[in-house]
Amino acid sequence: MSRQAFDYIIVGAGSAGCVLANRLTEDGKASVLLLETGGSDRSIFIQMPTALSIPMNTQKYAWQFETEPEPGLDNRRMHCPRGKVLGGSSSINGMVYVRGHARDFDEWEAEGAEGWNYAQCLPYFKKAETWAFGGNDYRGDQGPLGVNNGNQMQNPLYRAFIDAGVEAGYFATEDYNAAQQEGFGAMHMTVKNGRRWSTANAYLRPAMSRSNLTLVTQALVHRVLLEGKTATGVEYERGGQVHQVTANKEVLLCAGSIGSPHLLQLSGIGKPEVLKKAGIPVLHALPGVGENLQDHLEFYFQFRCKQPVSLNRQLGLWSRFKIGARWILTKKGLGATNHFESCGFIRSKAGVEWPDLQYHFLPAAMRYDGKEAFAGDGFQLHIGHNKPKSRGRVHVQSADPRQPPSILFNYLQAEEDREGFRDCVRLTREIIAQPAMDAYRGAEIQPGEAVQTDAEIDAFVRQAVESAYHPSCSCKMGVDAEAVVDPQTRVQGLQGLRVVDSSIFPTIPNGNLNAPTIMVAERAADLIRGLEPLEASQAPVSMDASWQERQRPGKPQRSL
């Protein structure tokens, strides 16, 4: 079998892989092979922001993983889609751009990821983006990733929600991705000129004309090839033919928080008892592979709307045709937004230092997957407790790379997580009861006014919560016994192998994960090339100085 050789082999053309493919080829010195199991991202359903529910639920564009029965959710199996297309999950996600709170990254460093504190990560967030409203100490204006606010909150419900948050005693925040995350304000999305601005559009497409980048799609990677404790290449299958390729420098796994631990395990790298159970020889014992799995849960808090302003009246066939036609012709209108144009980040109680609850506001009442909507006008808030204590795992089941891994998040196993969702229900009701919502607030559809006690809320949550599609932390970065990669993103105990994607987060940030995944890849690209890191930022972070005594600035609340 002939073996081609490249300096770097990247597995996965997703949110991180596309960034690495661009950065590692931009100086023309290194040859790079980028392998992707999926294919083209040219579909209108991927490129049109309002169609976001379609690719996520389409086998062609996403791995349709399911969890094992989740004990904390009445043994429900939860949907866990992951991108299987150029751009990966950035081509199927909700396009919400949230970096996370500054303290999330300081927490990473405290967990052993030296050099990944906020001051050192912020320059890479800036490097990645072009913020529609110009650069400053916190926002970039020359990066590949286009970020804006969609249609600028033209629907009055967006502003009413922000005003209600302020009336309830919370901060207003001008830019939650800048100095102050905590509060209510406009939400940001990865959309440029009316199109989904995935990493395929932002990073990969500009690099595809370079002679030192080779892209191979429809390629299922079987395993990383090892010689002793050195990764020498990968084996993959395409069109029924098995190929082996050599990496002169490094193999870079960017297959995501499900795919990367699974591929390590298929390669004989992981917890010995898990590998042996699957019939895979142990080539390198690394007990943390697939452990520490974390995710965000959310549910929809739904209300009827008293005024005819919601998007529910835009869901008919004729309305959808007009929205689609306008987008095709102009890339404007309701087709050019994900519709999450206002948001909130709050702390669940006094004694919580930075926000752990997140709101996405939608001026419609419908399911996130687009399968159901109710008759009449409505609005909803996607609300979740974003700093879970529960931990799960990803375990290989077979040496056959086509068999999906066993996934168990252990959702809501920690009492703190269950308490967090009780806070979600009670605090949300108080916010929506504010005068700013009086003109719009109708009857509560879900959870429903009958759901009041802790036991009633817990029962509702077990049945109603859904994944926010943020699996992470399953190959965590650090220096302890459970760490899979070191702070340079190198797999512990091996040469020539790194993992660069959301699986290496030590803990899950308070927010959507695409932005921090791209940041991780930008910083990792410099580490891989041996470049000096960007100069650490001196930009200050705004915090509520009285966080220990109060849950929000306007109203003293109960302590932990």
- Domains of the chain in start order, with CATH, are 4-529 (3.50.50.60)
Q: What is the pLDDT of residues 184-206, one digit of tens each?
A: 999 999 999 999 999 999 999 99
Residue 414 is assigned to a ligand binding site: no
Residue 560 is assigned to a ligand binding site: no
Q: What is the pLDDT of residues 134-150, one digit of tens each?
A: 999 999 999 999 999 99
Residue-wise burial string across 150-160, b where 16 or more C-beta atoms lie within 10 A, e elsewhere: bbebebebbeb
Instruction: Give pTM, 2 decimals.
Output: 0.97
Residue 26 is assigned to a ligand binding site: yes
The candidate with the shortest Cα–Cα distance to 11, out of 265, 200, 255, is: 255
Query: What angle separates helix 415-432 from helix 156-167, to the nearest 10 degrees?
Result: 110
The DSSP result for 436-483, as a single string, is: GGTTTEEEEEES-TT--SHHHHHHHHHHH-EE-S--B-TT-BSSSTT-
Residue 274 is assigned to a ligand binding site: no
Residue 288 is assigned to a ligand binding site: no
Cα–Cα separations (whole angstroms), residue 6 to 231, 233, 441, 496, 499? 13, 9, 60, 13, 18
Residue with the two structure tokens 């990764």:
231
Least confident of 45-59, 182-196, 314-328, 375-389: 314-328
Q: Which entry of 188, 222, 395, 470 is annotated as an active-site residue? A: 470
CA separation for the pair 150, 239 (Å, rounded): 40
Residue 80 is assigned to a ligand binding site: no
What local confidence, expressed as pLDDT, does residue 404 receive? Answer: 98
Share of the chain above pLDDT 70, in %: 97
CA separation for the pair 356, 347 (Å, rounded): 5
For residue 368, what pLDDT band results from cuts at 50, 70 and 90? low
Q: Is 89 helix (H, G, I), strand (E, B) or coil?
A: helix
Share of the chain above pLDDT 90, in %: 94
What is the DSSP pairing of strand 441-446 with strand 297-305?
antiparallel
What is the DSSP pairing of strand 213-216 with strand 32-35?
parallel
CA separation for the pair 408, 393 (Å, rounded): 6
**Angle CA(86)–CA(87)–CA(92) in degrees, nearest 5?**
105
Residue 29 is assigned to a ligand binding site: yes
> Is the pLDDT assigned to residue 478 strictly greater than 70?
yes
**Angle CA(220)–CA(224)–CA(225) in degrees, nearest 5?**
125
What local confidence, expressed as pLDDT, does residue 559 receive? Answer: 40
Q: Is 213 helix (H, G, I), strand (E, B) or coil?
A: strand
Q: Is 553 helix (H, G, I), strand (E, B) or coil?
A: coil
- Residue 290 token pair: 């697939």
Identify whether 470 is a catalytic site residue: yes
> Is the pLDDT assigned to residue 442 strictly greater than 60?
yes
Residue 12 is assigned to a ligand binding site: yes
Q: Are 278 and 261 in contact (CB under 8 A)?
A: no
The alpha-helical segments, DSSP class H, found in 34-94 are 44-47, 53-56
DSSP secondary structure code for residue 240 in this structure: T
> Is the pLDDT assigned to residue 372 strictly greater than 80?
no
> Is the pLDDT assigned to residue 558 strictly greater than 70?
no
Residue 17 is assigned to a ligand binding site: yes
- Residue 164 token pair: 């209600």
For the chain, what is the mean pLDDT? 95
Taking the CA atoms of residue 89, residue 94, residue 99 and residue 105 in that order, the dihedral angle to the nearest 10 degrees is: -50
Looking at the DSSP assignment, which residues form a beta bridge with residue 195? 192
